[in-house]
Amino acid sequence: MPQDGSLLDSACALCEFGFPWDKLGLLYMESGFMFRKSGHELKGSLCLLKRYGFCNVQIVGICLTFPFVFGVEEGNLVDEIDGLLSDLRFLFLDFDFAASVERNVNVWHEVCRKIKVFYDLNDGKGEIVELIGRNKHVILEHGEKELIEKVEYFCRFGVKKVEVARLILQGSELLNLDLETPVINVLKLLKHIGMSSQGVGDVRKNYAHVLGTIKMANLPNVMKAMGLHEWFFDKIKDGNHRLLTSYITSYPNEDHDKGYKSCLKTFDDARTPTHNMNKLNFMHAIGFGENTLTMNILTHMHGTSEELQNRFDCLLRLGIEFSKLCKIITRQPKILSQNPEILEKKINFLCQEMGNSLEVLDTFPAFICFDLENRIKPRFRFHMWVLEKGLSSKNYSIASMIATSDKNFVGRVSRIHPAAPKHWFEQFYPKKL
């Protein structure tokens, strides 16, 4: 009961200051320790915040958005809290947010939450504050959900988060764009953004899997699939965002390739149209274009879209670059037909026991397709035995070691030493084969 009395005392003190009763539950979940203070102590904490020049409704909005500010008296995060409050005072007073915002707790809470979207992109450092102030219309005219969606979209280009904050604050026209549904042509967009003729030619030659049309929602990963995500972002920042807005305005919906449309029709007649469509959407989401090559690759993959995504993510976590992984899939689609555990074992064996880097996969992506226990391990270990015994000084490439047929492999072994085949079959050859 004493605890309940303390909670009630704290709640009453907060409500008396101006905190909405229906927000106290949220505040308790975010910063429960403050409710262990007496009402008198809470009032003291709130008075400390008023010394920064904030009015009651502003303080309520700040506390609901950044509840850690109540840590002032405990001495925790003192520098961070002072930095935040100083930054907010700079915004509210120097940039005159107060004159533009209704004197209402809910409105100020919403304003603070929108400021937090950008503040968090710079890890709470104040460098972004002046940019927020000079572009306060972004905060005042757009909703929090809208801001978060655009921030998440441009963060997918893999650039520094503070660069995303600058892009959106300096290019507020981007907030009015539909970055999900428009269908665009990859090569047309690259030319429009400023890629040279030679660069476009290189894309045609080396990245056929991304060509054709794509949905805007998939643009970040399409650029990653070509290794052009940072280049693209650099092209549209520093006021050049209009290149993107003008392109979408000029070419709002491109028509699909005829071959691609023909393949889509076969999905309707298939036994599992929804399953096939989900797999296709997975392919587009990781950067493959709407073209016949993508359709052909898809036929060699087995598993649900969720399973394919898990396998793709597994290979990324293991260190394969996004663009290289997409090219590997183009050449060896079956790698995504394997479970993550198997993929991890193969990559670990390649790097740890065989002592190779992932660059081997650039020239020999089929490595991941071979059986680890019955092909890769026995052949590699036999090769090491041959070298250790001094029976051969030739160090075969991994492709030659693994991809050679059984017949040719045994023939090579017999040329190394007359007794080598016997040792291969007795000591290394998988017994269950």
Q: 198: buried, middle or exposed (CB in 10 Å: 19+, 13-18, 0-12)?
A: exposed
CA angle 212, 216, 217 (to 5 degrees): 120
Dihedral over alpha carbons 371, 375, 376, 377 (to 10 degrees): 110
Among 326, 336, 333, 331, CA closest to 306: 336
Closest CA to 409 of 360, 358, 357, 374: 374
pLDDT of residue 157: 98
Handedness of CA 103, 108, 114, 115 (dihedral sign): positive
pLDDT of residue 2: 40
Place of tokens 């707790």: 105
The tokens for 20 are 């909405």
pLDDT tens-digit map of 247-279: 998 887 888 888 898 888 888 778 888 999 999
Q: What is the pLDDT of residue 91?
A: 92
**Amino acid, res. 64:** L
Q: What pLDDT shows up at residue 76?
A: 57
* CA geometry: angle 26, 46, 96, nearest 5 deg: 90
- Residue ranges for the chain with pLDDT beneath 70: 1-5, 31-33, 71-77, 124, 126, 431-433
When the pLDDT of each residue in the chain is averaged and rounded to a whole number, the result is 91
pLDDT at 154: 98
pTM: 0.89
Token pair of 17 as six digits: 């200051």
SS3 per residue for the chain: CHHHHHHHHHHHHHHHHCCCHHHHHHHHHHCHHHHHCCHHHHHHHHHHHHCCCCCHHHHHHHHHHCHHHHHCCCCCCHHHHHHHHHHHHHHHHHCCHHHHCCCCHHHHHHHHHHHHHHHHHHCCCHHHHHHHHHCHHHHHHCCHHHHHHHHHHHHCCCCCHHHHHHHHHHCHHHHHCCCCCCEEEHHHHHHHHCCCHHHHHHHHHHCHHHCCEEEHHHHHHHHHHCCCHHHHHHHHCCCCCHHHHHHHHHCCECCCCHHHHHHHHHHHHCCCHHHHHHHHHHHHHCCCCECHHHHHHHCCCCCCHHHHHHHHHHHHHCCCCHHHHHHHHHHCHHHHHCCHHHHHHHHHHHHHHCCCCCCHHHHCHHHHHCCHHHHHHHHHHHHHHHHHCCCCCCCCCHHHHHHCCHHHHHHHHHHHCCCHHHHHHHHHCCCCC
The pLDDT of residue 179 is: 95
C-alpha closest to that of 346 among 376, 323, 325: 376
Would you state the pLDDT for residue 72? Answer: 45
Burial class (CB in 10 A: 0-12, 13-18, 19+), 35: buried
pLDDT at 3: 52
Rounded to whole angstroms, the Cα distance separating 109 from 331 reads 52
- 58 alpha-carbon distance from chain centroid: 34
**Which position has the token pair 């879209």?**
305
Residue 210 and residue 222 in contact, taking contact as beta carbons nearer than 8 Å: yes
